[in-house]
Structure formats: structure tokens, C-alpha cells
Structure 1
């Protein structure tokens, strides 16, 4: 039987109102006078632009660092800047929002449970930070199904860089011909 490697984001879970909750946090904490919808759109655009560039190149950047960089870009539009301590606060707070806004796709529990009953070895292979991926899986009662988590922060590269795939194969102790990747449903 093939070993299955699952991505978390946009495969097992989606983020429900992440940009709205991020915008609300920023607006409330910094007293920015902008509509929540406008700020949410700006936040989403900055986040997506930065995330897409990293992912397309397989470059590693922790989600906390991505959140800090998003904050810097977003706040420039309002002629604001933050201290390193404040940026760390927002990096942690926005990373927590990823966990809090995670929502399972409707068929995930049944599918993963059936695969588990069939004896399919399953791992997580993700561009998320290890602690965030595990918190999402714990929050949604899924961590128990997976033998391990291989993440970008552990390998210092992200998908599609070959190093993260090699790390996953090594962790599972298998050849590439015995692996299937489940990602981006």
C-alpha cells in the first residue's frame, strides 16, 4: 500500500474569514480608520502576494515572519510602522488566527478515517510551520491519524523544493515510488 502525504491548507482545511479576522485584529489594535471590508481586502492581497512568491520558489519563510512582512507592507499604506516587539506580537497573533479560522472540508474526517482503517500510512507534508500544522490537526481531532509531520520550518525549504520531499520520504522510510501526495483539493 502506498504511503500518503497530505498538505494541511487547502487540502484538509480551509481558512474561514482569515482575512476578516486579521483585518479586525489590525484595525482594533492599531485604531486604523478604514472599513473592515477594505482592510480585509488589503490584508488578503498582501498576504497572498507574499505567500505566493514564497511558495512558487520553494523558499522557506515561517508564517510568523510572513505575518510580520505582511504587516510592514500593509501599514506603509497608512504611513505607520511598528517596533520589532510589536511586529512579533502581530506575527504570533496572525499565526494564531490561522489555527482559529481553520475549518475542515466536509468529507475529510470520513476519508481520513477510512484510509486509516485500511491501514494506509499517512503523514503530513506541509508548507505550514510544524507547530501551527499540529495545532490545526489537534483542534480538528486529526493528528492521531498521522504518523508524523514534515514541515517547511524543519527542512528550511518549502514545496516545491526537492529537499522537503526527500525529508518526507526519509521520515517514512520509503522510496518515491511508494508515495502519493494529496495536495490542493
Structure 2
């Protein structure tokens, strides 16, 4: 259900650009990663896919780094030669295979695209990976812009990715609306920049204990977004 967070930053200024986080906002990347980890451990002769996934959650190598797989193998004395490269290929192939849009995402993006909203992806993924993911689930045509890690060389919550997206969309901060699943990496930095925000609570698997997202709106499904936009614009 759409909720107004009550932060007091809502105004009736029209929204001229929509900025979307990608992973876990448009689709369940975490679920796809867990599925790929299950395939990797089967290949390696183990059954602890959740344990392998836990390495990706540690602040050591990065959320999608192959070095997490290497560390898992080394700590179990699994031979690296030959096995590691195959495990990495399994990870990428299975992760992409298991990605699918959340309910209502494709329909909502088409609805907004057909009504002329410029939409831009702002992601920590590399542009190649982002393009492959969006192509796989049929969402790429809806976006007129993309800001990926390899384009700005800094990850969220740094302001640079969002500022680059605003420049790309030729929109001032006050005219944009960001939709993202991470309070720390999406909502908070955009709030500091004066960008209005929608917290995609449905995609935040690590939201336990969050009392106040700080977002202007909270949604539990992408199909709630048009109602929010209707508060600013007559669609």
C-alpha cells in the first residue's frame, strides 16, 4: 500500500524525470544470487548454497565479486585451478537465468513510458551487466538513460551517480523522483540532493528494524507508482 512518509518535502511541482535503482527494485537479484550459489555448490560437491551466499554479504570483496567464490573455495581447500573459472561462469549464467521482474514492474514501466516519462537507471552494476539484465527481462526499451558504476567510477550512496543521471535527463533535482530499495544507498543520498524519493520496501530484504525510511513515499509494489505520480501531475 502506498504510504506518505510525512517528511514534509512533498510539493506539487511536476515530476519531469524518473530515476530507478535496478537490482532488487525492478527484480529480485538476491533471489537470483542465492539460486546461482546453489548451482555452484552442487558443482563443487557441497550442499551449502546459503553459506556461499553469505560471503557475498560480507563487506570484503563486494556484493557481486567473484572473489567471494574464491574465498569460499579456499577455506574448504577446493582446488582453484579449473574449478574456480567454471564456478564463476555458473554464477553469472545462473544469476541471469533466474532474474525476472517483480509483479507489476513491466506493466507499470510501459504505462509510464507510454505517457512520456523520461526514465533513467542508476545502478552500482557495470553497464554491460545492467544491459544484459534489462534485455533478459524485456525492460531495456523503457529507459532513455543509464548511469552505471563504470561510467562514474564511484558507487552509491556517493552523489555522483545521481548527479550524472540528472544531467543525462536534463532535469533539476527538484523535478526528479527516485525509486529504490535501499535506504542507505538510494533514499538518503537523494534526499540530501533534493530529489524526491519512493522507497521500494518490497525489494529490501534487509529492512528488519527500519522504523523510518526517510522517503517521501513507501510502496509495496511497483503498480503503486502511478498513484504517487498522480499527486504531482495530471496523467
Q: Distance in 1 between matches of 2:175 and 2:144?
A: 16
Query: How many residues align structurally?
Result: 167
Residue 43 of structure 1, CA deviation: 1.4
How do residues 1-185 of structure 1 correspond to structure 2 at under 5 angstroms?
1-15=15-29, 16-28=31-43, 30=44, 32=45, 34-35=46-47, 39-50=48-59, 63=64, 66=65, 68-80=66-78, 82-83=80-81, 87=84, 89-184=86-181, 185=200
Question: In the TM superposition, what is the alpha-carbon distance from 1:97 to its structure 2 partner?
Answer: 2.8
Aligned-residue CA RMSD (Å): 2.3
More relative contact order, 1 or 2 (CA 8 Å, 6+ apart): 1
SS at match of 1:171: helix
Q: CA deviation at 1:22?
A: 2.2
Contact 1:124–1:149, Cα closer than 8 Å, also in 2:
yes
TM-score, normalised with respect to structure 2: 0.63
Q: Given the two structures, how large is their TM-score scaled by the length of structure 1?
A: 0.78
User: Cα distance, 1:44 vs. partner?
Assistant: 1.4
Structure 2, unpaired ranges of 5+: 1-14, 182-199, 201-235
For residues 148 and 96 of structure 1, do their structure 2 counterparts lie closer, same or farther at Cα, with a shift above 3 Å needed?
farther
- Shift of residue 115 of structure 1? 0.9
Question: Using a 3 Å threshold, how does the CA distance of structure 1 residues 78 and 144 change in structure 2: closer, same or farther?
Answer: same
- Greater helix fraction, Structure 1 or Structure 2: 1
| Consecutive unaligned residues in structure 1, runs of 5 or more | 55-60
> Hey, what's the Cα distance between the residues in 2 that align with 1:183 and 1:6?
6
